[in-house]
């Protein structure tokens, strides 16, 4: 029996970039096994060693999540479609989250500025008063946070909080439209604050120029009615989810990768939380960040605008929110699809018997905190590598970038082995010679070395510090930094 497996962007590097693969299988497990047999590199990313589906993978059959039902034992019919939905990333008429006692009258300037809202019966005077009384926190002022903050400010959200600890870089400007060229090297919160107040000087903007951590999250998030998640990493995403569940407030979720985006509203009081969808994060290095994997510039604008729309509906009330639904968008194919989210009764934080009652170490939870007993990864700088190559040392150069990255420029003398193929091709390395691993910024290469070490490779492995960008900056200025 033939079924179609839809492959998301994050896993396409293991399927020769195929978006859909036809396989034979009577059950979901058989179909995935057939996929893994055809593309061996994907197997460890789909299955645990005991054959169970990995916790960061959700499996949908014709739009319905089957993970917490029959899972891999789910029978299939001929022509069925299975959709893999890994972490990258309802519909009830909602009541407003803003209590009536918090509403204040609109002034003459409000009536003029928000006139297009006021003539919408779904918003009207009372809806605009609710927006004026609302307090919304936007975590991250990057690709997603930019449209979020701008549209929420324009809509008249009374108090807008902005959390970020980064500064504006030139590479941000391709998509982070809240910043401009003159803001380079400024704190993002300062740049975003100026732009937001330029759009609407009548709102209050509160900046939190700090990294969100387990130590400060409850204090910061607890000041707001809604949190809009504009982050780009898994530790902060799980931190936001858990803090919002503990505080009893909704988290408006968005995530992006290359050409694909996801959006939902996680509100444990009325539906699923992020942990219900993804009980555990993917292994470090599997899903590159936007800085490593790239992102279409307009994509965060689309997903961030959807998030802003969800925030406004939660405040105004009456709309059909994304609580209990996951919206998937593919900008390259220009398709939207929707999947049902079900609350997991065994969820460790919002389930029937929660085991998480306080915030934890999310770097450790996501596998990013190196254990004390784990040997550190040895590094080599670009200049040191150049010196060793010039003196004729026998060094294996291993470029773990994806083929489309290598197309930007090929690292001279390096063997191109994408991250997903490393373990399968480990026998191509000579343990007698030092091996230097190369990626764009020196992060995926660290994960590559650790994966090979765990797999039993005993040769000396070094990480090119700061990756190919460092080589371009300090050795060969003709090469691009991308």
- Give Cα 35 to chain centroid, integer Å: 25
Q: Please tell me what DSSP assigns to residue 52.
A: P
Q: Is 233 exposed, middle or buried (0-12, 13-18, 19+ CB in 10 A)?
A: middle
Answer yes or no: 244 catalytic. Answer: no
Answer yes or no: 439 catalytic. Answer: yes
- Give Cα 446 to chain centroid, integer Å: 20
Identify the bridge partners of residue 21 per DSSP, sorted by sequence position: 5
Q: Is 73 exposed, middle or buried (0-12, 13-18, 19+ CB in 10 A)?
A: exposed
Candidates 276, 290, 347, 366; catalytic one: 290
86 Cβ partners below 8 Å, 6+ apart? 8, 10, 11, 56, 57, 58, 278, 282, 287
Residue 51: closest CA among 28, 76, 69: 28
- Give Cα 272 to chain centroid, integer Å: 18
207 Cβ partners below 8 Å, 6+ apart? 161, 162, 189, 190, 192, 193
DSSP-derived 3-state class of residue 392: coil
User: How far is it, in rounded angstroms, from Cα 225 to Cα 482?
Assistant: 39
The H-or-E segment that residue 75 falls in is none
Candidates 244, 347, 350, 439; catalytic one: 439
User: How far is it, in rounded angstroms, from Cα 418 to Cα 399?
Assistant: 7
- Quick one: tokens of 64? 């319905």
Q: Please give the positions annotated as active site.
A: 290, 439
């Amino acid at each position: 029996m033939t079924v179609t497996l839809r492959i998301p962007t994050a896993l396409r590097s293991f399927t020769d970039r195929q978006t859909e693969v036809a396989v034979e299988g009577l059950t979901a497990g058989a179909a995935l096994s057939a996929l893994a047999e055809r593309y061996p590199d994907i197997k460890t990313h789909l299955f645990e060693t005991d054959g169970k589906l990995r916790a960061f993978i959700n499996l949908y059959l014709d739009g319905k999540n089957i993970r917490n039902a029959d899972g891999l034992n789910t029978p299939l019919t001929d022509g069925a479609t299975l959709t893999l939905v890994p972490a990258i990333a309802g519909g009830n008429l909602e009541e407003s989250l803003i209590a009536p006692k918090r509403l204040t009258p609109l002034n003459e300037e409000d009536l003029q500025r928000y006139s297009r809202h006021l003539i919408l019966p779904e918003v009207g005077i009372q809806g605009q008063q609710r927006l004026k009384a609302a307090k919304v926190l936007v975590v991250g002022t990057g690709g997603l946070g930019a449209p979020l903050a701008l549209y929420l400010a324009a809509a008249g959200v009374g108090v807008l909080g902005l959390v970020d600890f980064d500064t504006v870089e030139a590479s941000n400007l391709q998509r982070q439209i809240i910043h401009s060229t003159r803001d380079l090297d400024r704190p993002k919160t300062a740049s975003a604050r100026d732009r937001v107040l330029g759009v609407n000087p009548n709102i209050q903007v509160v900046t939190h120029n700090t990294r969100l951590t387990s130590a400060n999250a409850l204090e910061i998030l607890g000041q707001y009615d809604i949190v809009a998640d504009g982050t780009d990493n898994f530790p902060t995403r799980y931190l936001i989810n858990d803090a919002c569940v503990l505080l009893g407030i909704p988290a408006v979720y968005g995530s992006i990768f290359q050409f694909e985006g996801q959006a939902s509203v996680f509100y444990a009081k009325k539906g699923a939380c992020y942990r219900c969808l993804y009980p555990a994060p993917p292994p470090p290095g599997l899903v590159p960040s936007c800085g490593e994997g790239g992102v279409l510039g307009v994509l965060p604008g689309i997903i961030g605008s959807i998030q802003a729309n969800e925030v406004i509906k939660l405040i105004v009330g009456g709309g059909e929110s994304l609580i209990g639904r996951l919206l998937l968008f593919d900008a390259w194919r220009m398709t939207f699809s929707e999947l049902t989210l079900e609350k997991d009764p065994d969820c460790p934080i919002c389930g029937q018997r929660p085991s998480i009652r306080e915030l934890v170490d999310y770097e450790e939870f996501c596998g990013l905190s190196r254990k004390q007993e784990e040997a550190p990864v040895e590094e080599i700088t670009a200049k040191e590598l150049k010196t060793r190559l010039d003196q004729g040392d026998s060094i294996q150069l291993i470029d773990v970038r994806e083929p489309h990255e290598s197309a930007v420029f090929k690292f001279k003398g390096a063997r191109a082995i994408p991250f997903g193929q490393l373990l399968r091709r480990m026998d191509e390395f000579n343990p007698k010679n030092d091996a230097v691993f190369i990626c764009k910024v020196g992060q995926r290469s660290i994960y590559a070395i650790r994966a090979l070490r765990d797999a039993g490779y005993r040769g000396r492995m070094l990480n090119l510090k700061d990756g190919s960008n460092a080589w371009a900056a300090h050795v060969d200025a003709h090469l691009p930094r991308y």
